[in-house]
Structure 1
Amino acid sequence: MRKQREQVAVKVKTLHPDAAIPRYAKALDAGFDLVAVEDVIIAPGETAKIKTGLAFAIPDGYELQVRPRSGISAKTKLRISNSPGTIDAGYRGEVAILMDNIRIPSGAISHECFDLSEQPIQVEQPVDRHAYLIRKGERIAQGVLCEVPLAMFEQVAELDETERGAGGFGSSGVGTQSK
């Protein structure tokens, strides 16, 4: 028998007539869809701010994490800049997605770029061939509501020892070790 998930009321305000109220695509999804409210072209090597036309009142004790959609990451060279992005409970402005086109400029300028399916698409203005067009109404990211406890910081003279210690990136190696 499936456990009933806790539901948390989140107020959402539409700031654009074409804004899509978030929804979960499937019953067991952790993330809900965030949708673009305008067409945006992202040139290679550039970052674009893609508006959702939505503002949220996240309840105290929670954050809204903005995460990539796996299909976009798998099929394209588009990446969410600050992933996961955090929308704090005190923020009431429009949620926008910062997206990077990590392709290298081709130097070929034309009226053709790529869509989110990596298919060539015609555009009105001249663009670098490695640009992407995000269309109004496309699902561009997902939001996940997460509980956030407050840290209570305690200054100490020493920290307890661990196996890793002060080892940083790569300190545990890259391969698996069998015993």
Structure 2
Amino acid sequence: MTRKFARVSKYDARTLELPKRATKAAAGYDFQAAEDFLLPSIWRLPFLKILKRLRQAETVVASDYQAADLVLKPLLVPTGIKVYMEPQEFLLIANRSSNPLKRGLYLPNGVGIIDADYVDNAANEGEIFIQMINFGLHDRLIKKGERIGQGIFMPYLLTDDDEKTEKAERTGGFGSSGMK
């Protein structure tokens, strides 16, 4: 059985800690930021402008929505880490409980799912990124080595007739499964 974390090659020369559990009973392995990363606050002019226009029942045009969408777009915080696991497992990526309360940082999708075939893909070597959005009033500098999320290994089950459907081989990196 192979279940382990490793550094992606672009971070080989840097000091990166592999994820580890903080206590004996901890379910999650703590992930750290691979480098300093500025996560801007959502409370920027394009977003505030559209909120004001909507509140005052003013006309909002497509370019207003596009500008606000750019501000609200989550960013991918690099961890420099990849994971090897068994075929019928996945790594569930969850937020640290202190992030929303103390830092205003959220995972916009609630959780992330790292599939077993994501590792060593050609697009990004299987690097795990943690998708985040900053609801705090100020931009947040996430420092290299700061704990930003946690990963929990999980098994999954298949339907009895799963083998009847053809499955594609993974060809891409982040967000590539299920693409046509």
Normalising by structure 1, report the TM-score: 0.63
Looking at structure 1, the residues matched to 103 and 94 of structure 2 have their Cα atoms a distance apart, in angstroms, of 15
Looking at structure 1, the residues matched to 161 and 40 of structure 2 have their Cα atoms a distance apart, in angstroms, of 43
Which one-letter code corresponds to 2:132 in the other structure?
A: M
Name the Cα RMSD after superposition. 1.8
Q: Specify which structure has the bigger relative contact order, considering alpha-carbon pairs within 8 angstroms and separated by 6 or more residues.
A: 2
* Larger Rg computed on CA atoms: 1
Which one-letter code corresponds to 1:71 in the other structure?
A: S
Asked if 1 retains the 8 angstrom alpha-carbon contact of 2:37 and 2:142, the reply is yes
Looking at structure 2, the residues matched to 26 and 90 of structure 1 have their Cα atoms a distance apart, in angstroms, of 29
In proportion to residue count, which structure has more helix?
A: 2
Structure 1 runs of 4+ aligned residues shifted over 4 Å read: none
SS of equivalent residue, structure 1 residue 34: strand
> Alignment length, in residue pairs?
122
The question of 1:87 aligning with 2:104 is answered no
Alignment of 1:97-112 (within 5 A): 97-103=130-136
State the 1:153 CA deviation.
Answer: 6.0
Partner of 1:13: 6
Cα deviation 1:110-164 (Å, max 9, x = unaligned): xxxxxxxxxxxxxxxxxxxx1111000101000000111113469xxxxxxxxxx
- In structure 1, list runs of 5 or more residues that go unmatched: 1-7, 105-129, 155-179
Looking at structure 2, the residues matched to 78 and 23 of structure 1 have their Cα atoms a distance apart, in angstroms, of 21
The question of 1:68 aligning with 2:95 is answered yes
Asked if 1 retains the 8 angstrom alpha-carbon contact of 2:103 and 2:136, the reply is no
Looking at structure 2, the residues matched to 77 and 65 of structure 1 have their Cα atoms a distance apart, in angstroms, of 21
Partner of 1:55: 82
Asked if 2 retains the 8 angstrom alpha-carbon contact of 1:13 and 1:56, the reply is yes
Which one-letter code corresponds to 1:22 in the other structure?
A: P
Cα deviation 1:74-122 (Å, max 9, x = unaligned): 2121101222100001111100101101246xxxxxxxxxxxxxxxxxx
SS of equivalent residue, structure 1 residue 29: coil
The question of 1:148 aligning with 2:173 is answered no
Asked if 2 retains the 8 angstrom alpha-carbon contact of 1:62 and 1:88, the reply is yes
State the 1:11 CA deviation.
Answer: 2.8
The question of 1:135 aligning with 2:128 is answered no
In proportion to residue count, which structure has more strand?
A: 1
State the 1:13 CA deviation.
Answer: 2.2
Partner of 2:129: 96
